[in-house]
């Protein structure tokens, strides 16, 4: 396959599938998705996507060959991963780590003791080749008909992670994947599928970044999570894409009886983000929590949200968002709760607060709470605050420069969410925030 | 050398000229008072010296220990040793008093260990132990805000302290406490300017010099007797 200039077409999709040596079902799935993609319209809500030219993307790029150890990576990439602290985190804080550059995985490791317990942590391609039963799970939570980018993803997906946690196995320390977009104008479409069997638990963390180019690139990943009875899954994403990236994702989970699924999302980068992690609470007593932190800076539109679909009795959801908006930027939070007729005793709480750092900053909160039975408890709160010149001047009159003053205010505002993030990542988020202020003010 | 010198300072807010040639000198280790009726420009003087962007210096100069104050951004003025206690300290949601003071002390050259040592002392001195984990000024009563300003002063140990109505909204006990702290700061070498339109606090901290600001100018200065005369007869005594 050509490394660059791969354009979207039926031939391309077929060739991609042949190159990946996929079973027939996947090849058919891809072609089916492509057909749907061509029929579906662009999203009819949210950010302006008119500058995103789907005809001008590189749909497959493999600038780096996979390696067994960090040392074998090309110098520049090795230094990038070093600076991101990946090898160090792998040693100290992680049970397993995968790293992907553009379309393909370049590195993966898993603690031996987890392998021995039967945990599977492997590339999505490998899983599709080795486990025929994956067909029953792949894009069953987010079908291609759902939206245009889900269909596109289904046609051209490449890379990503498959995780299977056997019944009762608790993975105490997190597994992580890191996504890097390296090639100019590339599209990245990794697929993550997590199956946590009955009574198991896992915490998965995603990080992302890209160098800045003038040409647009697209990240359109998909995450599907199956939390079986009494399983606990926590999915954390820290996104710091550069400002030429359209970040349009589909993330959805099914929570069976007594299971819990938590989404934690930190969105600090990209030109446009559309991200609405969704949990369908399928079984009695299932729970979900969705914590979202967004930091929209000059020129960005971060359109995020959370959805909880209560389909069973005694299910609970808590959707919490904190957004900070600086410069001419916009943040939107769509908090959607649906309670089905049979979901008696459901409880849902939506809470959204925004801090505006500049007069031009824009924000919108769009709660949709819809219950089809009376035995529910629904709560909703939204607040918008603005940092005043008086507050800034006051802090500065005590010796803090503008970026210190802003990060102090913003840190205070987001600390309730940062508490939910593993310590190292909270520290990293704080550092990214401070860097952004220094850059914005310089 | 004077700790602070202000020469022929003219300041406007928007189109309105408020200070029209203020001259002022503060000596290290001394307490001074600036009096004047409401609207005479006292707060304007303090905020302009602190570098508030809305208070534009049209003309004039100011020196802190000989350093050109007006050339510095607000935070550099503070780092150089200027402190202004605000007449109306704003509430800053989400920011812990403690975190804020730790950073501010850092910028005044006080490391973390020193901060850890002096913060409890300062809280005790201002009888503010309960405020340790509070958010900065959030929900503080008027008098508590004034005490919190003094707490900051006490921690930061500036060279020059301009205290804008530290006495307003303060009960008798707190007034005494504030007076004690001001004396202690002056004794430690800080040049203090108490801004007030009421001589009450000055009875507890007799100033060595009293300046009177009227219509944007210093019209009179004298020893503490001037404050007592104003207390008895109002600002009429300096008008003629
Ligand atoms: N931010 C401002 N905008 C408009 N006018 C102001 C502002 N600050 C002060 N002034 C005006 O300047 C004059 C002096 O005010 P100020 O310095 O607060 O007086 P004082 O502190 O002596 O009571 C008043 O007429 C006041 O209304
Ligand atoms: Mg005033």
User: Residue B177: inside a domain, yes or no?
Assistant: yes
For chain B, say whether A415 makes contact (Cβ under 8 Å).
yes
User: Residue B152: inside a domain, yes or no?
Assistant: no
Q: How confident is the model at residue A6 (pLDDT cuts 50, 70, 90)?
A: low
User: Residue B131: inside a domain, yes or no?
Assistant: no
Which residue range forms the structural domain that includes residue B232?
Answer: 4-90+158-239
Q: Which of A398, A411, A413, A417 to mutate to test the interface with B (most CBs of B within 10 A)?
A: A398
Question: What is the reported pLDDT for A439?
Answer: 66
Exposed, middle or buried, A86 (CB in 10 Å: 0-12/13-18/19+)? buried
Q: How confident is the model at residue B240 (pLDDT cuts 50, 70, 90)?
A: low
Q: What is the pLDDT of residues A148-200, one digit of tens each?
A: 999 999 999 999 999 999 999 999 999 999 999 999 999 999 999 999 999 99
Q: What is the pLDDT of residues A197-255, one digit of tens each?
A: 999 999 999 988 888 888 999 999 999 999 999 999 999 998 989 999 999 999 999 99
Does residue A420 have a pLDDT over 80?
Answer: no
Q: How confident is the model at residue A3 (pLDDT cuts 50, 70, 90)?
A: very low
DSSP per residue, B122-170 = HHHHTT-GGGTTSBTTTT--HHHHHHHHHHHHHHH--SEEEEESTTTT-
What is chain A's alpha carbon radius of gyration, rounded to the nearest angstrom? 21
User: Residue B71: inside a domain, yes or no?
Assistant: yes
Give the Å distance between the CA of A330 and the centre of ligand 2. Answer: 38
User: Residue B99: inside a domain, yes or no?
Assistant: no
Whose structure tokens read 């004039």?
A: B60
Classified as helix, coil or strand, B23 is: strand
Does residue B214 have a pLDDT over 90?
Answer: yes
Q: What is the pLDDT of residues B172-212, one digit of tens each?
A: 999 999 999 999 999 999 999 999 988 899 999 999 999 99
Question: What is the reported pLDDT for A412?
Answer: 86
Residue A176 makes CB contacts below 8 A (sequence gap 6+) with: A89, A94, A96, A97, A98, A204, A205, A206, A207
B8-19 per-residue burial string, b: 16 or more CB within 10 A, e: under 16: ebbbbbeeeebb
Best of B43, B163, B168, B216 to mutate for ligand 1, by most ligand atoms within 8 A of CB?
A: B43
Q: How confident is the model at residue A440 (pLDDT cuts 50, 70, 90)?
A: low
* Contact predicate A270/A302, CB 8 Å: yes
Give the Å distance between the CA of B147 and the centre of ligand 1. Answer: 23
The two tokens of residue B208 are 């060595």
Does residue A392 have a pLDDT over 70?
Answer: yes
| CATH code, B46 | 3.40.50.300
User: Residue B78: inside a domain, yes or no?
Assistant: yes
Question: What is the reported pLDDT for A29?
Answer: 98
Element (H, E) at A325: strand A316-325
User: Residue B111: inside a domain, yes or no?
Assistant: no
Interface touch B93/A397, C-beta < 8 Å: no
User: Residue B76: inside a domain, yes or no?
Assistant: yes
Of the listed ranges A53-67, B75-89, B126-140, the one predicted with least confidence = A53-67
How far away is chain B from the Cα of A367, in angstroms, using its nearest Cα?
24
Element (H, E) at A363: strand A362-371
Does residue B218 have a pLDDT over 80?
Answer: yes
A406: closest chain B residue by CA: B95
**Secondary structure of chain A: what % helix, strand, coil (to 5)?**
25, 35, 35
* Contact predicate B8/B25, CB 8 Å: no
Question: What is the reported pLDDT for A4?
Answer: 43
Rounded CA separation A328/A342 (Å): 44
Overall domain count for chain B: 1
Of the listed ranges A97-106, A117-126, A409-418, the one predicted with least confidence = A409-418
Interface touch A399/B156, C-beta < 8 Å: yes
């Amino acid at each position: 396959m050509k490394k660059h200039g791969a354009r979207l077409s039926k031939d391309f999709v077929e060739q991609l599938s042949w190159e990946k040596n996929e079973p027939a079902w996947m090849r058919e799935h891809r072609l089916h998705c492509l057909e749907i993609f061509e029929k579906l319209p662009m999203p009819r809500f949210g950010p302006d996507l008119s500058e995103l030219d789907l005809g001008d993307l590189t749909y497959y790029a493999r600038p780096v060959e996979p390696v067994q150890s960090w040392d074998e990576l090309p110098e520049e990439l090795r230094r990038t991963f070093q600076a991101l602290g990946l090898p160090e985190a792998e040693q100290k804080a992680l049970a397993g780590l995968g790293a992907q550059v553009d379309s393909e995985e370049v590195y993966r490791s898993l603690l031996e003791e987890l392998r021995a317990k039967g945990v599977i942590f492997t590339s999505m391609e490998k899983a599709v080749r080795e486990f025929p039963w994956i067909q029953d799970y792949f894009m069953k939570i987010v079908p291609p008909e759902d939206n245009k980018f889900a269909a596109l993803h289904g046609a051209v997906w490449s890379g990503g992670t498959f995780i299977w946690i056997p019944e009762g196995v608790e993975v105490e320390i997190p597994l992580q994947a890191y996504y890097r977009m390296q090639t100019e104008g590339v599209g990245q479409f990794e697929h993550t599928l997590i199956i946590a069997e009955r009574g198991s638990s896992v915490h998965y963390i995603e990080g992302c970044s890209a160098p800045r180019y003038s040409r647009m690139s697209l990240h359109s990943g998909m995450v599907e999570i199956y939390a079986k009875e009494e399983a606990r899954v926590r999915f954390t994403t820290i996104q710091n894409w550069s400002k030429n990236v359209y970040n349009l994702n589909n993330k959805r989970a099914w929570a069976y009886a007594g299971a819990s699924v938590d989404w934690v999302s930190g969105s600090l980068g990209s030109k446009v983000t559309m991200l609405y992690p969704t949990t369908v609470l399928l079984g009695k007593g299932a729970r979900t929590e969705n914590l979202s932190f967004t930091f929209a800076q000059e020129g960005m539109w971060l359109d995020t949200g959370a959805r909880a679909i209560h389909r069973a009795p005694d299910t609970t959801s808590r959707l919490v968002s904190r957004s900070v908006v600086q410069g001419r930027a916009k943040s939107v939070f769509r908090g959607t709760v649906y309670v089905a007729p049979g979901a008696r005793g459901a409880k849902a709480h939506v809470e959204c607060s925004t801090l505006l750092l500049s007069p031009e900053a824009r924000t919108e909160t769009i709660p949709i709470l819809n219950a089809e039975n009376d035995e529910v408890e629904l709560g909703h709160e939204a607040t918008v605050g603005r940092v005043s010149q008086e507050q800034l001047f006051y802090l500065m009159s005590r010796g803090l420069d503008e970026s210190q003053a802003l990060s102090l205010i913003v840190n205070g505002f987001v600390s309730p969410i940062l508490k939910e993030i593993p310590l190292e990542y909270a520290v990293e988020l704080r550092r990214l925030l401070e860097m952004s202020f220094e850059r914005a003010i310089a | 050398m004077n700790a602070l010198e202000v020469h022929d300072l003219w300041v406007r807010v928007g189109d309105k000229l408020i200070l029209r040639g203020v001259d002022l000198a503060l000596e290290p280790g001394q307490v001074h008072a600036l009096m004047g009726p409401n609207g005479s420009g006292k707060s304007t003087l303090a905020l302009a010296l602190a570098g508030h962007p809305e208070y534009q210096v049209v003309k004039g100069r100011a020196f802190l220990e000989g350093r050109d104050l007006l050339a510095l951004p607000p935070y550099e003025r503070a780092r150089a040793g200027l402190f202004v206690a605000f007449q109306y300290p704003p509430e800053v949601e989400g920011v812990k008093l403690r975190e804020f003071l730790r950073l501010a002390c850092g910028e005044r050259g006080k490391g973390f260990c020193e901060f850890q040592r002096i913060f409890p002392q300062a809280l005790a001195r201002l009888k503010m132990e309960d405020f340790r984990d509070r958010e900065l000024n959030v929900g503080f009563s008027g008098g508590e805000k004034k005490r919190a300003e003094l707490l900051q002063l006490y921690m930061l140990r500036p060279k020059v302290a301009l205290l804008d109505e530290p006495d307003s909204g303060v009960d008798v006990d707190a007034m005494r406490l504030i007076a004690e702290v001001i004396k202690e700061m002056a004794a430690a070498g800080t040049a203090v300017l108490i801004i007030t339109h009421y001589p009450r606090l000055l009875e507890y901290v007799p100033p060595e010099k009293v300046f009177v600001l009227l219509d944007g100018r210093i019209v009179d200065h004298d020893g503490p007797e001037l404050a007592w005369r104003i207390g008895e007869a109002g600002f009429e005594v300096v008008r003629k």
